[in-house]
Each structure stands twice: as C-alpha cells, then as structure tokens.
Amino acid sequence: MPKTRINISLDQDLADFAKIFARENRTSVAEMVTQYLLSLKRRIDGENYEHILSHPAFQEAMESAQTRLRDGSAQWHSYDEVFND
C-alpha cells in the first residue's frame, strides 16, 4: 500500500522520548505510530487478537526477539533470502 505523509505536533519532551524509545528498540517513530493506529483500528473493527498476544509462547518469542535486537545478536536477512529461497 502506498504511504502518505502526515505531520503531527507533540510536546518536545514527548517527541524526545519517542525518538529515544524508537532508537533503543531499533524502529522508527513512524513505525511506532503505525503500529499504535493499526492496533486501535483492529479494536474498533472488532478484530480481537488479544488471545494471540497473551499466549505464553508468543510472549516468549517477542521477548527473545527484542533481546536479540537490543544486544545486536539478531541475524538479518534480505527480502530475497526470506521470500525467494
């Protein structure tokens, strides 16, 4: 889906927090906002996915992925390696 640009205004301290949080979690502020809005949309549309998020195996996998991303031990793959192998 094509992306479009929107501008938002935040208090400086909140903008600083968002940038630091994004950098520490190896993502972008735009991706954080996107994920939040997608979550909100799913709730409004009645798509309940909480049972997946609360599953112990999912929680463990997410924590493991976050740890590897934070400590730099994650192994990165190209799009072609993942989808055209």
Residue 8, by phi and psi: left (phi above 0), alpha (psi -120 to 50) or beta? beta
How much is the CA Rg of the chain, to the nearest whole Å? Answer: 16
- The model carries a pTM of 0.52
Residue 80 structure tokens: 């072609």
Domain ranges of the chain: 10-48, 49-85
Quick one: which of 1, 30, 7 has its CA closest to 18? Answer: 30
For 19-36, the pLDDT digits (tens) are 998 898 888 999 888 888
Q: What share of the chain has pLDDT > 90, as a percent?
A: 15
Q: What is the mean pLDDT of each run of 10 residues along the chain (85 residues)?
A: 88 92 89 85 71 73 85 81 73
CB-based contact 74:65 (threshold 8 Å): yes
